[in-house]
Amino acid sequence: MNQLIGLKQFTKIVADSGNFYEINKYKPEDATTNPSLILQNINIPEYQCLIDDAIVYSKKLGGDRNTKIIHASDKLIVNIGNKILQYIPGMISTEIDARLSFNTDLCILKANKIINMYEELGIDRSRVLIKLASTWECIQAAKQLKKDNINCNLTLLFSFAQAKACAEAGIFLISPFVGRIYDWYCKNGLLKNYHVSSDPGVLAVQKIYKYYKKYGYNTIIMGASFRNTKQILALSGCDCLTIAPIFLEKLKNTNAIVERKLNLPNKSINTATALDIYEFNLEHNQDRMAVEKLSEGIRQFSDDQEKLEIILNDKM
């Protein structure tokens, strides 16, 4: 048995890709996208008709050129998500503009717009997760969106404070970034005699998993952003893992027994009070890694969103 099949015994596998060929090849249950992944695949032939359709759609909605570009960008991510849903039985995570990450009201408006676009294509909102950065403002947006049956995937999650706030808000799913945590510790020379059992990204997910399961939180944990298959296998048993095609291929081509690493702890009564904005900010900002990586991630996704809009502007 190869490791990919073995891993699927304990964990839902999600494809971290915007490439239709790769998604169809590895048969994941769900898939995730973001502006960076879309840019990586922007020149594949199957994207071109989706781009053309998005531009035609934006022109029908009207407005000035900047407004049309925003409409085209929103429509493109929905077109890509819709196409991916043809290859998977589950859900697609669609990321909204990261530049809105500190504005609750605008995140809610954008999420509703994206969901409406999916529904215009006949896709039920139950198959779509809106991806938002794990800022306080986005967590509050996701909490409100849930009341309208719009579920969210809170991404760029690095601190335990972010994880607690998401659980307390009843968020559907979180994506702690294993590899980016690992990157920060490597960059700062803090990993000596490395072994996956002491990998800070792996340990972060393990801590969240134990906390959520012990106190009965229903928020799904989806480990993300991996740098090697050892990190992935060390989290076998996690609710979900979103994995890039390069590592899906390595797992598929390796025959070995996969053991479950994360097991359900005994449940206990949670007597903790929910974090308010002040406690959240204080606790989150105690973690220098989390502060730096969250800011960096929002900048990166914002930059890639702008690059995507430049491409759409040129084609328009």
Residues labelled catalytic = 131
Could you write out the three-class secondary structure of the chain? CEHHHHHHCCCEEEEECCCHHHHHHHCCCEEECCHHHHHHCCCCHHHHHHHHHHHHHHHHHCCCHHHHHHHHHHHHHHHHHHHHHCCCCCCEEEECCHHHCCCHHHHHHHHHHHHHHHHHCCCCHHHEEEEEECCHHHHHHHHHHHCCCCEEEEEEECCHHHHHHHHHCCCCEEEEEHHHHHHHHHHCCCCCCCCHHHCHHHHHHHHHHHHHHHCCCCCEEEEECCCCHHHHHCCCCCCEEEECHHHHHHHHCCECCCCCCCCCCCCCCCCCCCCCHHHHHHHHCCCHHHHHHHHHHHHHHHHHHHHHHHHHHHHC
End-to-end, the C-alpha distance of the chain in Å comes to: 49
Q: What are phi and psi of 128, to 5 degrees?
A: -125, 135
* C-alpha–C-alpha distance, residues 12 and 30, integer Å: 8
* C-alpha–C-alpha distance, residues 238 and 227, integer Å: 17
